[in-house]
Amino acid sequence: MMNVDKLYDNAARNGVVCLGLDTSAAYIPEGFLAGFNTVGEAVFEFNRKIIDATCDAVACYKVQIAYYEAMGLEGLAAYSKTLKYIKSAGQLAIADVKRGDIKETAAMYAKAHYSGDFEADFVTLNPYMGMDTLEPFEPYFAEGKGCFALVRTSNAGARDIQYLSADGGRRVYEIVGEKLKALGEKHMGARGYSAVGAVVGATNAEEGATLREKLSTTFFLIPGFGAQGGRGADAAVYLRDNNGGTVNSSRAVLTRWKKHEDGAARFDSYARAEVLDMREQIVVTSY
């Protein structure tokens, strides 16, 4: 079974939340952090407890590699162990690496993140250097792997390039989305979605229904919820029949414990509570 089919099934069973393990030492209770020899060890054990508390309530996990790279080798060890633990828990992992480079280099990125120590089920890609940067990832789609390529992101600077007018007055992000959909038609799963997904920010919801209609066979990774200003109703616009996308939240889940007096001792329980609250906030509307 293709991973995009598994993701669809997870979203149908567990809800559409993608829990982002963008884990900073600042998110970890001091007492918990002090119990380990290295920050890397503490980060992994923190992640492990979060995963144990939430794996039946999320569609997948997204692990942002930058937080781990910033810790050096011990951070990369924590990154690898986190990916392996997600797999052992029967869940899916998105490696948030946003790669995008010429073919030979991209082939090495594909090997690095679809196999070996950093193996994940999906990777995030940046196609704005050209569609040929995605080609080295395609052979892995036949093995079930998938990707989420940037289309229209949630940051304010997205308008600098993604919103420029191009052929026939279409915006650049619309053209990128069309090209990704065309590529994805060669790699369709059994649930009606392709292995080639798209990153579409939960902000600017007025455009969401149009994107959902045009990219009908593209599974969405939807960042921008919560801390970045996206609301539940905004995210729901990008869904279809309560599925077809997964809505990411990171900081709000990992730091929910800070709002409670007993939070340090129950950070994993409060992470689960945030996930469940988030599921309720996403107003599920069919399009």
Residues carrying an active site annotation: 98
d(CA 107, CA 137): 7
Helices (H), 15-102: 30-33, 39-54, 65-69, 73-88
Does residue 246 contact residue 59 with C-beta atoms inside 8 Å? yes
Residue 49 is given by DSSP the state H
Residue 78 is given by DSSP the state H
Three-class SS of 201-229: CCCCHHHHHHHHHHCCCCCEEECCEHHHC
What residue type is assigned to position 103 of the chain?
K
